[in-house]
Amino acid sequence: MTATLLSDANQRLEKALQYVTIHEDAIERLKFPKASLTVSIPVRMDDGSLRVFQGYRVRYDDSRGPTKGGVRFHPSVTLDEVQSLAFWMTFKCAALSIPFGGAKGGITLNPKELSKFELERLSRGYIDLIADFIGPDIDIPAPDVYTNPMIMGWMMDQYSTIRRQITPAVVTGKPLTMGGSLGRETATAMGAFFTIQTLMPKYDRRPEETTVAVQGFGNAGSVIAELLFRAGYKVVAVSDSQGGVYAPEGLDIPSIRQFKESTRGIKAVYCKGTVCNSIDHEVLTNAELLELDVDILVPAALENQITGENAARIRAPFIFEVANGPITSAADQILEEKGIQVFPDILVNAGGVTVSYFEWVQNRCGYYWSLEEVNQRLKEKMTRETELIWVISHELSCSMRTAAYVHALKRLAEAIEAKGTRDDYTS
């Protein structure tokens, strides 16, 4: 593999292979995506002009079931990035024992520059071009960076129009009225919260004595920040793409979320009703937030935020990856040498795909669960797999990331080897 991101992602696989014995056929199969699709999407803009956007969809591996993965709208989207994300999704689904393979999709654009009408035309045009590549038993898209339930609803509706039948199970993360699941919008953060709550007691860390910094105050980051705040953790810093705020005595996260929803900006505020007043705080960049002296660092933005260049300056003893791939393999080695515990994305942020699986199941059977039932099922699955990976880490004396890949790799190998290996065809 020559692609930079995918090559970097593959190094995690190579490290896990040092701790587990699987057939060479399975190793070879997992080195490459099964299928990649690149499309050009023409969109008639509101001013009458025509723009063409590049879109991608990658199905990495379907040994354990139909592939599953989000669709992101972002200027940095490339085929390399989408392939890497599909790779991570493959291992994430296996690590959580979800009967899906890994996939991912994306369109290269800045969605903030498009009107809602233009976004709808773009979303429907994307589905027009990939309709034969996806399906409830083939590949199921979901929300990701800068996509939301409304966009998923447009995609499901367009697919249903093409197939001439209502097909809610083709997409997850939809509006509730179109077959979405309760708890899906907060699932990534909720799953991360359950993981943190499972692991921190093992280090004798109590919430009220634990400081937290969250990079990325979007769909996942803002929710995990509030969940931790309400559980008693001291959230001292948060940031979005424009920068962040830091207050050593702690931030009022519900107020900051309220302020951002009304202004689209981040400011250290305390709100009472609709009135928000500024509190003392420091303004800092995303890069500065990563290097704060806090107990828990939560990268919840984009990939490659902690690299070989800045890893030595990271001071938080615990890092929970809510974003996909926020730490490079070069940084991993530095952080490990510093004694920093990294809890990997394929475990920590797996709540999203887990509840997407729940939504798919509900769509297929036509029976819908309560929020309490969804969250309880999510808690049970996240807690169980976190404990299993924790045990593997200690039995093999390896990092939690490597343990998670070992855990996933065993399940993937079993599925691939069940279809036959060289040993079955040679005497």
In tens, the pLDDT along 203-239 reads 999 999 999 999 999 889 999 999 999 999 999 999 9
Task: Express each pLDDT in 312-325 by its tens digit.
Answer: 999 999 999 999 88
pLDDT at 408 over 80: yes
Backbone angles phi, psi at 56, to 5 degrees: -140, 150
**Separation CA 293–CA 236 (nearest Å):** 10
Same domain, 204 and 306: yes
Q: Which residue is it, tokens 């979320």?
A: 257
- The tokens of 295 are what? 């107990």
Within 32-148, residue ranges assigned H as helices are 79-95, 116-130
| Structural domain includes residue 177 | no
For residues 58 and 37, the answer to whether their CB atoms sit within 8 Å is yes
pLDDT at 421 over 90: no
The whole-number average pLDDT for the span 82-91 is: 93
Same domain, 46 and 161: yes
* Residue whose C-alpha is closest to residue 360's, from 81, 153, 168: 168
Q: Which of 136, 171, 206 is the last residue of a domain?
A: 171
DSSP letter assigned to residue 409: H
The whole-number average pLDDT for the span 153-176 is: 97
388 against 9, higher pLDDT: 388
The whole-number average pLDDT for the span 16-37 is: 88
**Separation CA 361–CA 355 (nearest Å):** 10
Cα torsion 144, 56, 150, 355 to 10°: value is: -40
45 CB-contact burial (10 Å; exposed 0-12 / middle 13-18 / buried 19+):
middle
| Structural domain includes residue 158 | yes
| Structural domain includes residue 358 | no
Query: How far lies 256's CA from each of 112, 261, 354, in Å?
Result: 21, 9, 28
Same domain, 152 and 99: yes
For residues 345 and 195, the answer to whether their CB atoms sit within 8 Å is no
The whole-number average pLDDT for the span 245-259 is: 91
Query: According to the model, what pLDDT value does residue 271 have?
Result: 77
pLDDT at 1 over 70: no
- DSSP secondary structure, 202-222, as one string: GGT--GGG-EEEEE--SHHHH
- DSSP secondary structure, 292-354, as one string: S--SEEEE-S-S--B-TTTGGG---SEEE--SSS-B-HHHHHHHHHTT-EEE-HHHHTTHHHH
DSSP β-bridge partners for residue 282: 246
- Confidence at 384, pLDDT banded by 50, 70, 90: very high
Q: Which of 348, 377, 401 is the last residue of a domain?
A: 348
Among 9-18, 49-58, 271-280, the range with the most confident prediction by mean pLDDT is: 49-58
Query: According to the model, what pLDDT value does residue 281 have?
Result: 82
- The verdict on whether residue 260 carries a ligand-binding annotation is no
Q: What percent of the chain has pLDDT over 90?
A: 78
Query: According to the model, what pLDDT value does residue 4 have?
Result: 62
Query: According to the model, what pLDDT value does residue 259 have?
Result: 86
- Confidence at 427, pLDDT banded by 50, 70, 90: low
- The verdict on whether residue 68 carries a ligand-binding annotation is yes
- Confidence at 5, pLDDT banded by 50, 70, 90: low
Query: According to the model, what pLDDT value does residue 312 have?
Result: 96
Backbone angles phi, psi at 332, to 5 degrees: -50, -45
**Separation CA 266–CA 263 (nearest Å):** 8
- The verdict on whether residue 379 carries a ligand-binding annotation is no
When the pLDDT of each residue in the chain is averaged and rounded to a whole number, the result is 92
The whole-number average pLDDT for the span 171-178 is: 96
Same domain, 123 and 223: no
Same domain, 199 and 58: no
- The verdict on whether residue 174 carries a ligand-binding annotation is no
Same domain, 240 and 137: no
**CB under 8 Å, gap of 24 or more: what pairs does 175-179 form?**
175/149, 175/150, 178/153, 179/359, 179/362, 179/363
For residues 358 and 377, the answer to whether their CB atoms sit within 8 Å is yes
28 against 204, higher pLDDT: 204
Weakest-pLDDT range from 184-188, 279-283, 294-298:
279-283
- 412 in helix, strand or coil? helix
- Confidence at 272, pLDDT banded by 50, 70, 90: confident
Domain range spanning residue 213?
Answer: 187-348
Query: According to the model, what pLDDT value does residue 45 have?
Result: 97
Query: pTM for this structure?
Result: 0.90
Query: According to the model, what pLDDT value does residue 382 have?
Result: 97
**Separation CA 348–CA 415 (nearest Å):** 24
Same domain, 152 and 35: yes
- Confidence at 2, pLDDT banded by 50, 70, 90: very low
pLDDT at 101 over 80: yes
- The verdict on whether residue 188 carries a ligand-binding annotation is yes
Same domain, 156 and 9: yes
- Residues with a catalytic annotation lie at 104
Q: Which of 121, 136, 171 is the last residue of a domain?
A: 171
Structural domain tally of the chain? 2
For residues 58 and 82, the answer to whether their CB atoms sit within 8 Å is yes
pLDDT at 387 over 80: yes
Domain with residue 153: its CATH number is 3.40.50.10860
| Structural domain includes residue 207 | yes
